[in-house]
Each structure stands twice: as structure tokens, then as C-alpha cells.
């Protein structure tokens, strides 16, 4: 997790791109390579946005579950979060291979929802992370994901 435009504090030597200072806030190792990362306000009780990582699932995380895709949401672990410390907020495995994700306040209430698209199986689903990852929309069929998103998000 990086601060792309440092406005306070020290900037590590060499951390300037096109005259803009940046610094690394937090680094962690994942069991699988991330495929998609999306940020949104998934926990309205914490300052700032959270981020969701979509990646392959790992047998060590859920040995009884053979679903291929895992979504993990991370949130700051301090109510006054400065971006330097994060914890897992929620995780769930899916049978779908989500290839694209976006965050939006679909229902105009509470936190943001996560919009997930599986091009191979031709579906879009919308989930509410702040409601135990409840699915609120499911659309199937052949479509162009960008046209679909412009209509729904």
C-alpha cells in the first residue's frame, strides 16, 4: 500500500516520480498472486477506504472448499488509520472466476458494494460486503462488460 502523493513527513530517498514524492505504507505477502484489486468504502465504521483482493484460493485457507477464487477485504486496524497497518476484514471463496471488479454504492445506502464480472461464464453479480457479503444482483448472458457497467454502475 503506497501513499502516491506524500504531503507530510519524510520521503524516503529516491521515492520521487516526475517530481511527485511517494512512500510505501504497508507491505504483506499473499499466498497467491492477486488478479484484481478494488478499493471502496466497505466498512463505514473505519476511516478511509478498504481494499478487496481477488486471487486464486489456497487449500491452506479453506481445505474443505475447492472453489477456485478467493476475495479478501482488508481494512485499517486502527480507528484513526494512517495506512500503515491493515487487517483482514472479510474473506470468501467463489466458484466463479471473477475477471473484473468495481466498487460502487449500488443501493445508495451503507457501504459500497462490489460488482464482479465473470466473462467466461457470462455473468455479473453485486455483493454487499457490509451485509455478510450478501448477493443483491445477478445478471447472466452474453454482454460487453464495459457497456454493462456503464448501464449499472
pLDDT of residue 141: 65
Q: In a 3-state reduction of DSSP, which class is residue 126?
A: strand
The share of the chain scoring above pLDDT 90, in percent, equals 26
Q: In a 3-state reduction of DSSP, which class is residue 29?
A: coil
**What global pTM score does this model have?**
0.80
pLDDT band (50, 70, 90) for residue 73: very high
Tell the residue number behind the cell numbers 495506512, with chain if given: 83
pLDDT of residue 60: 66
146 burial (CB, 10 Å; 0-12 / 13-18 / 19+) is: exposed
Number of residues that make up the chain: 153
pLDDT band (50, 70, 90) for residue 32: confident
Q: What is the pLDDT of residues 112-147, one digit of tens each?
A: 999 998 888 888 899 999 888 999 988 876 555 555
**Least confident span in 79-88, 105-114, 129-138:** 79-88
C-alpha cell, 26: 504497508
Tell the residue number behind the cell numbers 476475495, with chain if given: 71
Beta-strand ranges (E) seen in the chain are 2-3, 16-17, 20-21, 23-24, 34-40, 50-56, 69-76, 86-94, 100-104, 113-118, 123-128, 134-140
Distance CA 117, CA 99 (A): 6
Amino acid at each position: 500500500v503506497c501513499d502516491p502523493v506524500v504531503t507530510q513527513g519524510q520521503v524516503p530517498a529516491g521515492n520521487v516520480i516526475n517530481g511527485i514524492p511517494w512512500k510505501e505504507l504497508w507491505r504483506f505477502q499473499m499466498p497467491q498472486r492477486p488478479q484484481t484489486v478494488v478499493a471502496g468504502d466497505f466498512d463505514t465504521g473505519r476511516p478511509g477506504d478498504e481494499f478487496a483482493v481477488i486471487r486464486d484460493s489456497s487449500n491452506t485457507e479453506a481445505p474443505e472448499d475447492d472453489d477456485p477464487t478467493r476475495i479478501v477485504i482488508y481494512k485499517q486496524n486502527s480507528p484513526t488509520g494512517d495506512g500503515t497497518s491493515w487487517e483482514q476484514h472479510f474473506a470468501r471463496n467463489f466458484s466463479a472466476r471473477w475477471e473484473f471488479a468495481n466498487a460502487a454504492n449500488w443501493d445508495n445506502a451503507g457501504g459500497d458494494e462490489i460488482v464482479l464480472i465473470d466473462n467466461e461464464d457470462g455473468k455479473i453479480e453485486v455483493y454487499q460486503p457490509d451485509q455478510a457479503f450478501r448477493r443483491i444482483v445477478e445478471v447472466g448472458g452474453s454482454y460487453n462488460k464495459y457497456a454493462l457497467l456503464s448501464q449499472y454502475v
